[in-house]
Each structure stands twice: as C-alpha cells, then as structure tokens.
Amino acid sequence: MFKTNSESTVPVTTDEDNSIVVPITKTESRTNKRSDGASSTRFQNLPDVVCLSHLRWDFVYQRPQHLLSRFAKHVRVFFVEEPLFTDCQEPYLQVDEREGQVHLVVPHIPHGMAAEAIEAAQRRLLDQLFAEHQIAHYLFWFYTPMALGFTDHFTPALTVYDCMDELSAFKFAPAQLKERELALFRKADLVFTGGQSLYEAKKKQHPQAHAFPSSIDKAHFAQARTPLSEPADQAGIPSPRIGFFGVIDERMDLGLLVALATARPEWQLIMIGPVVKIDPATLPQHSNIHHLGGKSYKELPAYLSGWDVALLPFAINESTEFISPTKTPEYLAAGKPVVSTPIRDVMRPYGEAGLVHIADTPEAFITAVEDALLQQQDEAWLAAVDGFMADLSWDNTWSSMTNLVTQALELKKQQKS
C-alpha cells in the first residue's frame, strides 16, 4: 500500500531519533536515463540503486546523500529508510522525491508489532515498491546490515556494503547486528569503508574491501572563507567563537566542553546539531556554551564564517574508535583552524600533516585552541591545507566507487556467459 502527501498540507514530523521527515509530493518515476539526455556512455548501463539505510535522508546531509545524489544524475535511486512507527491501521509506504531521481521510501508500521512481524511487513512493502516502480535491473547499496532480514529473497545485479561506521559499537545497536554484518560480508560483492581505521578492521573479512574516507564539497564550505551574513541566532554572540557542528550524541566529550567553558569564560562555544540518544538535560549549561540546534547543510557556511576555531571534541571510547569525521575536511575547506581529540582518522592523515591540532587532555586542548586562535591568518598553513585537499572531492570519491561497481558488474556478466 502506498501513500503520498501534498507539501502544502503535511507538517514536518519528527521520529524517535529526532530525524526530521518532510513529506513532499510523489512524482512520476523516471527511467534509468537522465531527463536531459546527457547520460554518459560510461554510466548508461548502470542498474537502479536501491539503498537500505539506518540514516534518514532529511536528518543530516552526509556521505549517503553526497554519493546517492550523484548516482541520481544517471539512474533512479530508491532510498529505503528504517520504519516510522505510527498510529496507522496497517503498514504502508510513503514514497516521495528528493533531488533528481532520488525516491525517498519510508515504511510506516503500526505501533506494537513484534520484530518478526515488522520484518515481514517490510518485505511485503518492498515487494510492492519493486512492482509499482518496475524495478528489474538494480543493485543493493547497504548502509545497515539489519536490512538483510527483509531483502534476502531478492537477486540484485550487485550487492555493495558501504560501511560508514562500526555500528555495533553505537548506543542502542541491535543485538543481531554483528551476526547480520557477517552475513552481509558473505553476500556483498564490494565493501567500502568510511575511513582508513575501519578499512583495517574489515579488510580481512572481504576480498573486495576498499577504503573511501570522508570527502568534501570544497566549493560549498569555501564560502565561509569570506564574511557572510550572520545568522540571527549567532549574530549576538561575541568573539572568540569556538564551534562544532554535527550530531551530538554519546560520542561527544561533554566533560571536555565543561573544562573549556570553565577555564576560558571569554571563549564562546557554539554547538550546532541535533541531540540524539542522550538526554538533552545532560548537556552542559554554561553562559558561554550556546546550543543552537540543528541547521541545514545549506546554512552551515554562514555559521562557519563567523567562527575563529572549529572543534572535534569527541570522547575516546568504543563508539569513536573507527569514526572518520566528515567535518574534518569541511572545517579545513572553510579555512578554519581545527582542534581535535586523538581520533585515529583525524590524527592520520590530518594531524600528521600538521593541518589539525591534536590534544589528549583538557589542558592540552585549551593550549591547542589558544594556538589555533593565532593561526587564522596563517597563509602558509592555508596553502598547505589547499594543497593537501586538492584532489579530495565527493565527485572523485563517487567516480572511484562507480569504477569498481562497473568492473564488478562486468566480471559477474562474464562469469555468467
């Protein structure tokens, strides 16, 4: 069963993880060719992409959106989210369109269903999606191994596991996650990892594992190198401004923020992002800590433009062992000095290259921020940043991934013939 919504009558809603869902009108499905007829020979035979994600498209714009929006220039993309549990009488799919040919697919499931019934409902709904949109030649692009529970009866042309994080280490991870991931490794044709540390942890589990660390839309964040119009909620905050944007969850070192705010009351700590999986009441409340909430991807350069230093104040624990923060190159592209705790995929390569300050104690972090405040007009540092990131882009990352996808498709074709 499918339902669509009119964007003039449906309000923004929020699910249990504060993931914003903005329903818009469903439009007619398109073919695999770009509507402008400009599909290149290289990509014209790519299958549709059916993505199974634990992240929501309208939550935080990050790796999945960057990659899949590029696929959508050439093929249809179906981004299948985890269910929303609502007061509906029976399960149904909400299918809306985002940028280009990205079809956002959201299962709505009645409250109170058992786990097995939920997976069975998702299986039926996905079957309906395939029939409704005539999805015949497709690849599966997994972000969550948990989706194996309702997709194992399909026969995709290719199976890709884009392993962004060590999900089993995150708070509230499903008990079956590790077992499902092992099964996905057996099924996948290609495995991509979101960072070098994660690649080193996973490479022995699959012969076609490839590291694709966080990339960057340089032009977007480089806007922050020039003064931009101040957002209203930041305009009244004095300098120096020390900022962070991203999801605020169990990975954040809240004690470190308290130490910074207490030791340097003249520093203004700006925290931007949704709070998930932790109680907002536990966030430090100091006069110089400013929680501004979530902002859209489009808005971020305007906030960054007014900062003096950017922070990566992650705790060092199981949930951060393999993270590769996308915001590292984003901060640098904005021309902002960066101070980070010793996250491995920040230390290597950014710390080793002298582009990011690394500090492992609150005292060292304070000293590093002081040094970073003096670095804002350092043209040699900025030139080193630009040289280091010259070839880093989501376009290049997507192109490299797609080369591997096309090679794998051709190999399977040869094996069948």
DSSP code for 298? G
Q: Find the mean pLDDT for residues 102-113.
A: 96
- For residue 178, is it within any domain? yes
> In this predicted structure, what is the pLDDT of residue 376?
82
Residues 237 and 131 in one domain: no
Per-residue pLDDT band for 17 (boundaries 50, 70, 90) equals very low
What does the pLDDT read at residue 219? 96
40 in a structural domain:
no
- Burial of 238 per CB tally in 10 Å (0-12, 13-18, 19+): exposed
Q: Which amino acid is at 105?
A: V
**Predicted pLDDT at 256:** 97
Domain that includes residue 325, residue range:
218-388
Residues 204 and 277 in one domain: no
Residues 237-253 pLDDT 10s: 999 999 999 999 999 99
- The pLDDT value given to residue 173: 61
Which one has a higher pLDDT value, 9 or 220? 220
The residues, any chain, with a CB within 8 Å of residue 213's CB and separated by 6 or more, are 194, 195, 196, 324, 345
Do 180 and 247 fall within a single domain?
no
Residue 290 pLDDT grade (very low, low, confident, very high; cuts 50, 70, 90): very high
Domain total for the chain? 2
| 92 lies in some domain | yes
Predicted pLDDT at 41: 56
Q: Are 262 and 209 contained in the same domain? A: no
Q: Which residue, among 153, 159, 170, has the nearest Cα to 55 in the 3D structure?
A: 170
Residues 199 and 288 in one domain: no
d(CA 258, CA 336): 22
User: If 0-12 CB within 10 Å is exposed, 13-18 middle and 19+ buried, where does residue 145 land?
Assistant: buried
pLDDT digit string, tens, across residues 47-78: 999 999 998 999 889 999 999 999 999 999 99
More confident: 38 or 310: 310
In a domain? residue 322: yes
183 and 240 both lie in a single domain: no
CATH of the domain at 206: 3.40.50.2000
Alpha-carbon distance of 398 to 144, in angstroms, equals: 19
* Eight-state DSSP code of residue 90: S
Query: Do both 21 and 170 map to the same domain?
Result: yes
- Residues 195 and 224 occupy one common structural domain: no
Among residues of the chain, what percentage have pLDDT more than 70? Answer: 88
**38 in a domain, yes or no?**
no
Residues 242 and 314 in one domain: yes
User: What percent of the chain has pLDDT above 90?
Assistant: 79
Average pLDDT for the chain: 88
The reply to whether 77 falls in a domain is yes
113 and 83, same structural domain?
A: yes
Q: What would the mean pLDDT of 136-163 be, rounded to a whole number?
A: 96
Question: Are residue 372 and residue 231 in the same domain, yes or no?
Answer: yes
The pLDDT of residue 42: 63
Place 23 in a pLDDT band, splitting at 50, 70 and 90: very low
Separation of alpha carbons 66 and 395, rounded Å: 9
Max CA-CA distance within the chain?
Answer: 70
Read off the pTM: 0.85
**pLDDT confidence of 170, banded at 50, 70, 90?**
low
255-268 pLDDT tens trace: 999 999 999 999 99
SS3 310: strand
On whether residue 99 sits in a domain, the answer given is yes
Q: How many CA atoms lie within 13 A of 142 on its CB side?
A: 26
Does the pLDDT at position 137 exceed 60? yes
> Of 352 and 44, which is predicted with more confidence?
352
The answer to the question of residue 34 being in a domain is no
Average pLDDT (296-315) is: 97
Q: Do residues 258 and 375 both lie within one domain? A: yes
Q: Please tell me the predicted confidence (pLDDT) of residue 417.
A: 76
* pLDDT at residue 385 tops 80: yes
